[in-house]
Chain A
Amino acid sequence: GAGVSQSPSNKVTEKGKDVELRCDPISGHTALYWYRQRLGQGLEFLIYFQGNSAPDKSGLPSDRFSAERTGESVSTLTIQRTQQEDSAVYLCASSLDLYNEQFFGPGTRLTVL
């Protein structure tokens, strides 16, 4: 596709369950980012991947959060043992490299009951 896609668009889960969120970046984009946006708030950086370099995980809020990326393709963000405070929209973005503008996906709205 022409843009960044994310799935699922909505996810409702019970507290304590694990969830996996997927991001398909724009083809050819070497950089991929994950952000969290709580209702009415700004973007909270979680993690980014750049090519084959080690990812910058400095924004992950706890060890329940992890992410992987296959080469310069799909990325998955996994949240283990979800908590109610994890409820938010999780946004993925990709860019040609670290210095160019990011293109955002539509996000996954996660609700933890």
Chain B
Amino acid sequence: AQSVAQPEDQVNVAEGNPLTVKCTYSVSGNPYLFWYVQYPNRGLQFLLKYITGDNLVKGSYGFEAEFNKSQTSFHLKKPSALVSDSALYFCAVRDHGQNFVFGPGTRLSVLP
């Protein structure tokens, strides 16, 4: 069965600094990988996905993620964090089967 780990419950970063939110996965076969963001008191929003192709995927709001097959990772990155990026971030994975699994979430705080 597939699984997703987000090893950090909380990530703090200063505004203007680069940010990384980590995600590792376990899945049989080639994975479909997703990142979602949940702003306070709002629903989840899709950020980006990796299905196939280039390992570096660009998404909404200046975010990008790099698929690393050897390390089974899909870390979310942004070159320069904004205070408005503060939110809860979820990594998700599905394989070619039927299940879609979300990670436990990482709370990102960007400090002014």
Contact = CB atoms under 8 A, between A and B. Distances in A.
Interface of A: 33, 35, 41-43, 45, 48, 56, 91, 93, 98-107
Interface of B: 32, 34, 36, 42-46, 49, 51, 90, 94, 98-105
Given A43-B90, A45-B100, A48-B100, A101 B49 contact: yes
Contact of B102 (A45, A48, A105): A45
Contact of B105 (A42, A56, A104): A42
B43 A91 contact: yes
A104 B90 CA distance: 13
Contacts of A45: 99-102
A105 B43 CA distance: 6
Contacts of A35: 102
B50 to A, nearest CB: 11
Contacts of B44: 43, 91, 93, 102, 104
Nearest to B97: A98
B52 to A, nearest CB: 11
Residue from A43, A93, A102 with most neighbouring chain B CB atoms (10 Å): A43
Contacts of B103: 42
Contacts of A93: 44
A98 B46 contact: no
A99 B34 CA distance: 10
Contacts of B99: 45, 56
